Amino acid sequence: MKRKRSLPLSRVYRLLEPGPVVLLTTARKGRANVMPMSWHTMIDFEPPLVGCVVSDRNFTFESLKATRECVINIPTVELAPAVVGCGNTSGRRVDKFERFGLTAEPASRVEAPLVAECYANLECKVVDTRMAARYDLFILEVVAAWIDPSRKRPETIHHRGGGLFMVAGREIKLPSGKP
């Protein structure tokens, strides 16, 4: 992790609240996979809990259930073609890291790899699968977080459906009393 520093877990919500498309990595039987995901939400601040929806039609679903580990990687706009490519292929047939030029780096607390090209990486344990059967909904706890401190205003991408993505725009500051 050359360029990245550890991010306090209390700050993790700041990365996911704006709703970016993320890349979810898993590893099972020595084989890593990666899929884009837009259906996620913060659930608690600290320890950071995240709810995410992974369809049982996806190759990732079984890995997540079996290994109970994953990494949420947050890409920026220059990775958009790779993100869409990962969504259009299945890890059942393709090594997506190789196909889309993504670099798998070892994580510190889980077997699933970090995507080196992403500006932030959240190592997660699955802590609740009771909603997986009915809603494909998993509850994750973030156990370690990494961020590239040089990226002050990351141009995250946000899916608007049908291949249309909104790129993070300008920032405004308002006197919010909330975290």
Find tokens 């837009």 and name the residue.
38
Find tokens 């993320």 and name the residue.
22
When asked if residue 132 is in the footprint of its own copies (CB under 8 A), the reply is no
When asked if residue 127 is in the footprint of its own copies (CB under 8 A), the reply is no
Residue whose CB is less far from its own copies, 23 or 107: 23
When asked if residue 11 is in the footprint of its own copies (CB under 8 A), the reply is yes
**Under DSSP, is residue 38 helix (H, G, I), strand (E, B) or coil?**
coil
Cβ atoms of 13 and 43 closer than 8 Å? no
Among 44, 46, 56, 78, the residue binding its own copies under the rule CB under 8 A is 44
Residue whose CB is less far from its own copies, 81 or 106: 81
The residues, ordered by sequence, that sit 6+ positions from 152 with a Cβ below 8 Å of its Cβ are none
The number of beta carbons lying within 10 Å of the beta carbon of residue 44 is 12
Q: C-alpha 163: how far from its chain's center?
A: 19
Q: Which stretch binds its own copies (CB under 8 A): 23-31, 77-85, 101-109, 110-118?
A: 77-85
Cα gap 171→153, rounded to integer Å:
9
Q: Which stretch binds its own copies (CB under 8 A): 25-33, 48-56, 103-111, 113-121?
A: 48-56
Kindly list the residues in this chain that would bind its own copies in the complex (CB under 8 A).
11, 13-14, 17-20, 38-44, 49, 51-53, 77, 80-81, 84, 87-88, 131, 135-137, 139, 155, 157-179
